[in-house]
């Protein structure tokens, strides 16, 4: 049984600003009924100040509470101020949400972001929030979750596991096919932030083999080549290029620019690769 704060219960039992604004200036939508919950946020402006906000939601108690408190948080604020609100702010304002329900705060933030896009334009909203628009690449096709949504959830909430990402975005919560990509995204983020956990020698060896097998080898195979892992000594990875790659005049370049770059990026920046 999940523990809810008094504030969540209050906003669930007495939701504020429920309904529709017929002459709304901005409307934002998030979620989808196919995925279990959805939210529509209506905003009425006075200049660039949010004069009124209302919502309609189909979802659980946490979705109602998140939407309700969001309307209170944005009424009276300028659009610029509203654009700085994150899902973490929504959850904090509710005195927290159970981990498994954090996706409700994310849905609130996404509806707000969607509404603001219509005012500022997509790139400006994303820029104001500190991340760039790199396209709407879908990572989780089961729940239609984009790469940007996952980056944002990881970054804003400091997520460190795939399970946490699922709690916050739903991504990974059905067939699980996207879990590998999500795990890579978390590792990339932690590495960039210098928070990556030091791998034990055994973990490092396993990771190097996995990256070679799953990411490097399939790419080389496309050109009729392949790679064999021969040995690992500290940070020196000894490999043998095979097939078309073995006699290729660009073998040295392939090792440095492709194999070594991927291993540095995915495993450890201190890695060097040698052909044996």
Parallel, antiparallel or unpaired: strands 26-32 and 37-46:
antiparallel
In whole angstroms, the minimum distance from the beta carbon of 91 to ligand FES comes to: 23
- Regarding 172 and contact with ligand FES (CB under 6 A), the answer is yes
- Regarding 176 and contact with ligand FES (CB under 6 A), the answer is yes
Burial of 40 (0-12, 13-18, 19+ CB in 10 A): buried
How far apart are the C-alpha atoms of 110 and 101, rounded to whole Å? 15
Q: Which of 94, 140, 212, 271 binds ligand FES (CB under 6 A)?
A: 140
**Given the rule CB under 6 A, which of 60-68, 110-118, 139-147, 244-252 is the region that contacts ligand FES?**
139-147
Q: Are 18 and 59 in contact (CB under 8 A)?
A: no
Q: Which of 14, 141, 214, 272 binds ligand FES (CB under 6 A)?
A: 141
Q: Are 165 and 151 in contact (CB under 8 A)?
A: no
Catalytic hit among 104, 140, 178, 245: 104
Q: Which of 128, 142, 251, 262 binds ligand FES (CB under 6 A)?
A: 142
Q: Which of 174, 229, 251, 262 binds ligand FES (CB under 6 A)?
A: 174
Provide the total of helices (H) and of strands (E) in the chain, helices listed first: 13, 8
Among residues 30 and 212, whose Cβ is nearest to ligand FES? 30
Q: Are 140 and 128 in contact (CB under 8 A)?
A: no
Among residues 176 and 218, whose Cβ is nearest to ligand FES? 176
Is 35 in the active site?
Answer: yes
Among residues 128 and 142, whose Cβ is nearest to ligand FES? 142
Among residues 107 and 140, whose Cβ is nearest to ligand FES? 140
- Regarding 175 and contact with ligand FES (CB under 6 A), the answer is yes
Beta-carbon contacts of 194 under 8 Å, excluding residues fewer than 6 positions away, are none
CA nearest 257: which of 203, 220, 229? 220
DSSP 18: B
Structure-token pair, residue 195? 């928070």
- Catalytic center residues: 35, 104
Residues that bind ligand FES (CB under 6 A): 140-142, 171-178
């Amino acid at each position: 049984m999940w523990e809810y704060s008094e504030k969540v219960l209050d906003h669930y039992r007495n939701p504020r600003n429920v309904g529709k604004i017929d002459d709304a200036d901005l409307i934002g939508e998030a979620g989808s009924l196919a995925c279990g919950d959805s939210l529509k946020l209506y905003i009425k402006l006075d200049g660039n100040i949010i004069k009124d906000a209302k919502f309609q939601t189909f979802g659980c108690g946490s979705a109602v509470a998140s939407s309700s408190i969001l309307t209170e948080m944005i009424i009276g604020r300028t659009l610029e101020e509203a654009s700085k609100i994150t899902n973490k702010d929504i959850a904090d304002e509710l005195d927290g949400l159970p981990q498994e329900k954090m996706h409700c705060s994310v849905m609130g933030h996404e509806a707000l972001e969607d509404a603001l896009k219509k005012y500022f334009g997509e790139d400006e909203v994303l820029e104001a929030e500190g991340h760039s628009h790199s396209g709407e690449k879908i990572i989780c096709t089961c729940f239609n979750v984009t790469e940007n949504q996952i980056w944002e959830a990881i970054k804003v909430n400091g997520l460190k596991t795939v399970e946490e990402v699922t709690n916050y975005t739903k991504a990974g919560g059905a067939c699980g096919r996207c879990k590998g990509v999500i795990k890579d995204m978390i590792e990339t983020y932690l590495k960039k932030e210098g928070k990556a956990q030091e791998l034990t020698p055994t973990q490092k060896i396993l990771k190097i083999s996995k990256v070679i097998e799953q990411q490097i080898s399939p790419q080389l195979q496309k050109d009729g080549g392949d790679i064999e892992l021969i040995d690992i000594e500290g940070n020196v990875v000894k490999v043998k290029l095979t097939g078309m790659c073995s006699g290729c005049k660009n073998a040295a370049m392939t090792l440095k620019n492709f194999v070594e770059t991927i291993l540095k990026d995915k495993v450890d920046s201190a890695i060097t690769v040698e052909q044996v």
